[in-house]
Structure 1
Amino acid sequence: MPLAIETPTPPPEGSIHCEVRGHVLLIGINRPAKRNGWTPAMFQQLAEAYTRLDDEPALRVGVLHAFGEHFTAGLDLPIMSAYLKGGKKAIPPGLVEPHDYGLVGYRRRAKPMVAAVKGICFTVGIELMLGADIVVAADNCRFAQLEVQRCIMPTGGATLRMAERAGVGNAMLHLLTGDEFDSAEALRCNFVQKVLPAGQELAEALRIAERIAQQAPQAVVATRQNVLKAIELGQAAAVADFIPVQQRLAHSDDAAEGVRSFIEKRPARFTGT
């Protein structure tokens, strides 16, 4: 069943609407009248939402989704062209950068993000979902990395992550043609992890997020960061963290709760400490 979320009326420049459900922060892209085309205000609010996720201890997982029929048609080019020409950044330094590829001057996200995509998902939409950790797609998605058709280079992570997920040939196919592809092709290329009938993607993304939120928060963050370290810095760098990180976790209250719950044969009640 579709997940019912009331759609707030956004200003003309769009907005990012956040809603807390237990330990999960729902982060909604809200400019449906313009197919969720991205403006500077939306980018700043998205970074603020990602920063909130990391900074509030009660929040453990984020879910990125969109209001309306589509995830996003990409950048609102008439509005964003000045930023592209001048090399300006719509996101103030010091916040968590949502694409999460290590842009200098910005924080990397620590907590996991699940993305739910639907309908049109062009350019920045693909890059934001690739910057998440898990992606659930509706079966009606239309994907396209269109930048080369507009004399733009993708700079939100597509040139990094498409080849990582799908191999160089598949990455070049989609990056250099800008042609549309569907949810089945996105699944084949490992750009998404699940494909569901349209309308069910957000509920499934929330279900996954809530399942992650039941686990020990420190262990979730450490595990996620170790995976990324292996990808970005190599196996040796990730292996070097095994013993010190495991020792740190072993001295936590949640590790003691994990042992108690095992002995008492009950679900663990983790606090994040």
Structure 2
Amino acid sequence: MDTPEAPPEGTIHTERRGALLLVGINRPAKYNGFTPRMFRELGEAYSLLDDDPELRVGVLHAFGKHFTAGLDLPTIAPLMRRGEKAIPEGCVEPTDLGSPGYRRRTKPMVVAVKGITYTLGIELMLAADVVVAADDCRFSQLEVKRGIMATGGATLRMAERAGVGNAMLHLLTGDEFGSAEALRLNFVQKVVPAGQELDEALRIAEAIAAQAPLAVVATRKSVLKTVEQGPAAAVAEFVEVQTRLSNTEDAAEGVRSFVERRPARFTGR
């Protein structure tokens, strides 16, 4: 994919491909380090995905050789010292933490990572739903090396995915590890040869987009509720959710397609 022209402070490039929204991190000259502008535009892109009924799945990727080196500290540090956020309130929060004033994403996000994937890069992929990693990835949650703490979800999700010991190993040393270790720790779901990560992410996103949108959103929400609130909270909603889904046009289409032995044509209604 050709790299679109970007200003010095970087940008987030969006592209529609049918029901997919490709969200591209675009500041390759600076290893895709995030500036306030890029944070703002990322929140706007995630909000677009959720708000546009024609879009079903997001694909986060990066231009250049690397996913992101993380924060551009000279531009972000002043905001951090003031306790301010670069993402406008009311937007979908890309790190999906449920912070006051921000929305949580409802539609699926697939991420393709490659090369240097530091700090915020790890937190963005852990906040997504499916991650495809190139085999040349270099991961590091190195905030402790800069005198700060990871606050985009790594301290929560690393332990949930890989256990407390594995989380402490990488969070407290800030060491660098590769794609095989990330796969072992359940931080990524697939590892592919470098250069194939975006194609594989798009393939997965297309497969998700072909399913019934309301059922996909409900299924994703149930999984997250189980992780965050426990199985009982998710089970308590099973009957209500299934009743609602069973009365949709998509559920009727699912039955018809089964009887007629053809692929279903879901509309999200």
- Asked if residue 222 in structure 1 is aligned to residue 218 in structure 2, the reply is yes
How far off is 1:78 after superposition? 0.8
Q: 2:122 aligns with which of 126, 139, 145?
A: 126
How many Å separate the matches in 2 of 1:205 and 1:92? 28
Shift of 1:6: 2.5
Cross-structure match for 1:21: 17
Please show how residues 153-232 of structure 1 align to structure 2 within 5 Å. 153-232=149-228
Q: Distance in 2 between matches of 1:63 and 1:226?
A: 21
Alignment correspondent of 1:263: 259
Q: After TM superposition, give the deviation of residue 141 of structure 1 in Å.
A: 0.3
1:167-197 CA deviation, whole Å, 9 max, x = no partner? 0000000000000000000000000000000
Q: How far is 1:24 from its partner?
A: 0.5
Alignment of 1:272 with 2:257, yes or no, is no
Residue 181 of structure 1 aligns to a residue whose secondary structure is coil
Please report the TM-score for the alignment, with normalisation by the length of structure 1: 0.98
In the alignment, which residue of structure 1 is the partner of 2:111?
Answer: 115
Q: Does 1:97 align with 2:93?
A: yes
Deviations 1:84-143 (A, max 9, x none): 111111011100000001111100000000000000000000000000000000000000
Who is 1:144 aligned against?
140
| Letter in structure 2 aligned against 1:33 | A
Structure 2 length as normaliser, TM-score? 0.99
Q: C-alpha distance in 2, partners of 1:29/1:167?
A: 30
Q: 72, 75, 78: which one pairs with 2:71? A: 75
Q: Deviations over 1:151-172 (max 9, x none)?
A: 1010000000000000000000
Deviations 1:226-252 (A, max 9, x none): 000011111111001100010110111
Q: Displacement, 1:83?
A: 1.0
Question: Identity rate of aligned residues, in percent?
Answer: 73
Instruction: Please give the alpha-carbon distance, in whole angstroms, between the structure 2 residues aligned to 1:259 and 1:73.
Output: 47
Alignment RMSD: 0.5
Q: Measure the CA separation in 1 of the matches of 2:18 and 2:214.
A: 17
Q: Which moved more, 1:28-37 or 1:79-88?
A: 79-88
In the alignment, structure 2 segments of 5+ residues that lack a partner are none
**Residue 41 of structure 2: which of 29, 32, 45 is its match?**
45
